């Protein structure tokens, strides 16, 4: 099975009418950091729901995904017709020009990436000087890991080696990664769930000046 076949099969298993996880929380975070008129790249845009919200907010959006099935769904989402949707290859350089976006949005994508350093380098490459990277990923702080460790069944299900999540981040490890890959003004917040067991990380970082 090729990587594309794998992701096509994943999207086939997602119900047509399902909202992305933590949609309202992630939408609020995203729209709070994007201004009308900005050019935004939605990496792993999926069915286009976040891209459509960006269009509603007045942004100019390019959405890329590795699954054609996801992009076909995106074409049916209201307002997503204004999005420049493109199919890209998994784990390969993005067919996009250097320094061509004000913002890159990657919601729940980084945990699926094999070569994280190369992927983040690509996102940095397409950002303009002082451009902003916004991303979200599941949180794996100590309290969350302890809760999983207390249930053998929950632990096995969460870390099932057949699952599509390849990487697991805490606030500290995600912030360190972004800093190491050439971003600055890195901020990573935890959100959702009870205070000691947040389920989501919200990250913002800036590309250094040229």
Rounded CA-CA distance 174/42 in Å is 20
**DSSP secondary structure code for residue 80 in this structure:** G
Number of compact structural domains in the chain: 1
Q: For the residues 25-38, what does the mean pLDDT come to?
A: 97
75 is catalytic: no
Give yes or no for residue 153 having a pLDDT over 90.
no
Handedness of CA 172, 174, 180, 184 (dihedral sign): negative
Rounded CA-CA distance 44/154 in Å is 27
Read off the pLDDT of residues 164-207 as tens digits, 9 standing for 90 and up: 777 889 999 999 999 999 999 999 999 987 766 678 999 999 99
CATH label of the domain that carries residue 86: 3.40.50.150
Stretch among 21-25, 57-61, 93-97, 138-142 having the lowest mean pLDDT: 138-142
Range from 107-121, 129-143, 182-196 that averages highest in pLDDT? 107-121
The residue from 53, 108, 111, 122 that is catalytic is 108
- Residue-range definition of the domain harbouring residue 166: 3-207
């Amino acid at each position: 099975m090729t990587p594309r076949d794998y992701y096509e099969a994943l999207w086939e298993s997602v119900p047509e009418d399902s909202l992305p996880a933590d949609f309202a929380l992630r939408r609020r975070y995203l729209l709070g950091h994007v201004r009308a008129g900005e050019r935004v790249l939605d990496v792993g845009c999926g069915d286009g729901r976040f891209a459509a919200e960006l269009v509603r907010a007045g942004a100019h959006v390019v959405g890329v995904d590795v699954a054609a099935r996801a992009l076909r769904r995106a074409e049916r989402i209201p307002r997503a017709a204004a999005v420049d949707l493109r199919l890209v290859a998994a784990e390969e350089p993005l067919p996009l020009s250097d320094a061509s976006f004000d913002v890159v949005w990657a919601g729940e994508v980084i945990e699926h990436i094999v070569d994280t350093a190369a992927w983040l380098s690509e996102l940095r490459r397409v950002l303009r000087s002082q451009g902003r990277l916004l991303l979200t990923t599941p949180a794996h702080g100590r309290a969350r890991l302890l809760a999983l460790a207390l249930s053998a069944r929950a632990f096995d299900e969460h870390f099932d080696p057949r699952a599509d999540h390849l990487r697991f981040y805490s606030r500290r490890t995600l912030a360190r990664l972004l800093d190491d890959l050439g971003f600055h003004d890195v901020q990573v917040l935890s959100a959702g769930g009870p205070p000691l067991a947040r389920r989501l990380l919200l990250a913002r970082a800036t590309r250094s000046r040229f």
